[in-house]
């Protein structure tokens, strides 16, 4: 797979290069340079194909120029051996694709697990090491720690806001022999993010310590989200005869962009319904628009390594043919004030509990239901994180399993022994030097 920056389509890099040095020098984001026809693989898979097999097959199809089929199967197998998303039918119209069935109940588990596995395989083949530095909160931090734990050639430094460091298994931490170093900043999450921006803006530090990112600015973190849609289709293709739509929470647009990449890779899909935001909404005529597109890419600030948005990737998908944006993505205005009633409605009708992002997407789907029903369409609603982690939803309300109740209890346990630093890069550089021995 060749990749280019959203701001320079002429300079191509390999997947390996884009993963290890994930920030394009022009300040953009790496995206696939070409479309890929994966129909032979997509149509081969069905409801008997396991998620690790789906991921291994698609990894091989996308990265066959760089990795052998055996390596691709190992990447996916070591990532997803015990975990898979789940899809359930709610009625004749609606299915739920649940992404919270990973080790921590966070939808990011799957992206982190595949990315860490792929990166570890690359580093092993090249006999080198790398460090991931990330500013993060509780749920994402736990997901990162779980996915990167025990990697031999990868080290991770997690920077938390003061008081936010909870729920990480102490055995994973560097002072207990693990490969993860937790840092608590004397400040807010914004202070932690600024620190990470400062470090990644220093190319000398990035090169010296082999720094890379694990958020969706890194294409290696975003790519495995494509597998969700392929997996869902494998479960639906013998059941559904009409059009297929996906109801996707907006978030930072990672899941929406991944769905559009799946479409570019020949997945049969008729559209994506999402909750409208100030970045993606409808114009006065009701047609989808990216609200920042009037600003040329070269006039924008560099993409944020600490808090990325994938809206620029979304713009790039439709740059050549803007009409496709209007025909494939359907933003619908949903008020956050309606979330409690939407969660209650889904629970009453289907016996499921939605997290807030999924509830917003559900509200958007409900507003488009008449038009899709008339076309005998089916909608797959993407649910991101386990709703039990939301303070407004109790574990009993969402019928949390015993395993999930145990994870909830562990998530609240403070981590002892973390290094405490002022929010400046000098302390992080010292940790990098000590942690890596460089």
Q: Per-domain residue ranges for the chain?
A: 108-218+413-436
Res. 395 pLDDT band, cuts 50 70 90: very low
Q: Which residue has the higher pLDDT, 297 or 333?
A: 333
Q: Are 89 and 106 in contact (CB under 8 A)?
A: no
Separation between Cα atoms, residue 417 and residue 144, nearest integer Å = 19
Total Cβ atoms within 10 A of residue 309: 18
pLDDT at 69: 94
Q: Which pLDDT tens digit goes with each residue over 363-378?
A: 999 998 877 765 678 9
Res. 118 pLDDT band, cuts 50 70 90: very high
* 108-218+413-436 classified as CATH 3.40.50.1100: yes
Mean pLDDT of 258-281: 94
Q: Which pLDDT tens digit goes with each residue over 124-176?
A: 999 999 999 999 888 899 999 999 999 999 999 999 998 888 888 889 999 99
Measured at the alpha carbon of residue 34, what is the angle toward residues 32 and 37, in degrees to the nearest 5?
110
What is the pTM for the complete model shown?
0.94
Q: Are 186 and 420 in contact (CB under 8 A)?
A: yes
C-alpha distance from residue 206 to each of 11, 182, 196, 200 (Å) = 21, 19, 11, 6
């Amino acid at each position: 797979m060749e990749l280019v920056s959203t701001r320079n389509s002429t300079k191509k890099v390999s997947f390996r290069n884009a993963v290890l040095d994930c920030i394009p020098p022009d300040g953009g984001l790496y995206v696939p340079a070409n479309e890929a026809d994966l129909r032979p693989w997509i149509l081969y898979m069905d409801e008997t194909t396991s998620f690790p097999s789906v991921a291994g097959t698609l990894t091989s199809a996308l990265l066959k120029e760089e990795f052998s089929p055996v390596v691709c199967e190992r990447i996916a197998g070591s990532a997803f051996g015990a975990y898979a998303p789940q899809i359930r039918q709610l009625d004749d119209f609606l299915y739920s694709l649940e992404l919270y069935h990973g080790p921590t109940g966070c939808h990011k588990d799957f992206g982190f697990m595949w990315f860490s596995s792929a990166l570890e395989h690359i580093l092993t083949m090249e006999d080198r090491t790398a460090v991931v530095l990330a500013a993060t909160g509780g749920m994402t931090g736990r997901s990162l720690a779980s996915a990167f734990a025990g990697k031999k050639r990868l080290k991770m430094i997690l920077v938390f806001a003061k008081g936010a460091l909870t729920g990480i298994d102490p055995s994973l931490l560097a002072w207990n022999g693990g490969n993860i170093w937790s840092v608590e900043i004397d400040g807010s999450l914004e202070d932690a993010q600024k620190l990470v921006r400062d470090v990644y803006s220093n190319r000398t530090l990035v090169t010296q310590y082999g720094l890379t990112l694990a958020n969706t600015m890194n294409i290696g973190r975003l790519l495995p989200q494509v597998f969700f849609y392929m997996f869902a289709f494998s479960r639906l293709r013998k059941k559904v005869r009409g059009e297929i739509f996906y109801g996707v929470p907006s978030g930072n647009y990672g899941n929406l962009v991944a769905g559009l990449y799946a479409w570019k890779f020949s997945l049969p899909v008729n559209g994506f319904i999402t909750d409208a935001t100030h970045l993606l909404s409808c114009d006065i005529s009701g047609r989808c628009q990216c609200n920042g597109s009037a600003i040329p890419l070269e006039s924008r600030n560099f993409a944020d390594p600490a808090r990325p948005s994938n809206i620029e990737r979304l713009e790039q998908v439709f740059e050549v043919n803007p009409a496709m944006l209007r025909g494939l993505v359907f933003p619908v205005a949903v008020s956050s004030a309606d979330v409690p009633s939407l969660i209650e409605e889904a629970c009453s009708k289907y016996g499921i509990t939605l997290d807030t992002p999924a509830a917003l997407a559900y509200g958007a789907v409900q507003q488009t239901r008449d038009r899709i029903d008339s076309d005998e369409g089916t909608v797959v609603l993407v649910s991101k994180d386990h709703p039990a982690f939301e303070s407004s939803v109790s574990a009993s309300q969402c019928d949390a399993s015993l395993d999930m109740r145990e994870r909830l209890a562990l998530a609240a346990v403070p981590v002892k022994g973390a290094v405490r630093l002022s929010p400046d890069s000098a302390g992080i550089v010292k940790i990098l030097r000590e942690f890596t021995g460089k």
